[in-house]
A = this chain, B = another copy of it.
Amino acid sequence: MRNPTAAILIIGDEILSGRTRDANMHYLAGELTRIGIDLREVRVVSDEHAAIVRAVNDLRAAHDHLFTSGGIGPTHDDITADAIAAAFGLPLMVRDDARAILKAHYDRAGLELNESRLRMARIPEGARLIDNPISSAPGFSLGNVHVMAGVPNIFQAMVASLLPTLTGGKPLLSQTLRVMRGEGVIAAALGALAAEFSDLSFGSYPFVNNGAYGTNLVVRGQDPARLDQAMIRMQAEFGEKAE
């Protein structure tokens, strides 16, 4: 059985302008690999209604899961929930369960659940809430689309709430051999190994260390025994120790 596939959609002008360096893609990529969901594509789009709707509809149709990051706070530029509702053709309204969660949170803090904060209780009809243990305002899952906050510690907390509810597959395993030779020297032999072990995927990642060229050879696959076999052959071929 094949693993479920996934895409990530990062929403935010601050990433595209270079002001903020996204951290959520890398974090979620690692978590998905760990539970056997194959991340196939990532997109970053601006805070523009039409761009978000188009990307959501493309990606939810093409993959088993779509995870989004950003745009669900209380300010005027937080338009992700509106765009998700529009993408599904569903109404977006303040929902009682989400409002109760926010009310309890702001009551505890002695703060008012004002109109701006109440925006965060607007949830598309039929969505399931995603728990936010940091700042309470929930994310939500609608069909195969999982909508989460952009602030990295809140995003990570929501991922931790969400992932145990999803069915993963076989984790993608990897082993790395670090070789102090340039890619151009090892490319032919590596290509031959990749052809021989065609059920595995071989990657080659060059680096420079104190002026000397080296390459990290990474072999990936789902069967640990096959990875071990490939690793033994790589060590024999390239003659250095595994990390």
Contacts and interface: CB of A to CB of B under 8 A. Distances in A.
A13 B208 CA distance: 21
A128 interface: no
A75 B42 contact: no
The copy count of this chain in the complex is 2
A44 B45 CA distance: 12
A19 B151 contact: no
Interface of A: 10, 13-22, 25-33, 39-47, 51, 73-77, 111, 114-117, 119, 151, 153, 172, 174, 183-188, 190-191, 194-195, 201-208, 218, 220
- Secondary structure of the A side of the interface? mixed
A97 B162 CA distance: 53
Contact of A18 (B20, B30, B40, B75): B30
A41 B191 CA distance: 33
Contacts of A16: 29, 39-42
B42 A43 contact: yes
Contact of A202 (B77, B116, B172, B203): B77
Contact of A19 (B75, B77, B174, B187): B174
17 contacts: A14-B205, A14-B218, A16-B40, A17-B39, A17-B172, A18-B30, A22-B25, A25-B44, A40-B51, A73-B204, A73-B206, A74-B183, A77-B202, A111-B184, A114-B185, A116-B187, A151-B206
A46 B10 CA distance: 17
A186 to B, nearest CB: 8
B20 A205 contact: yes
A26 B21 contact: yes
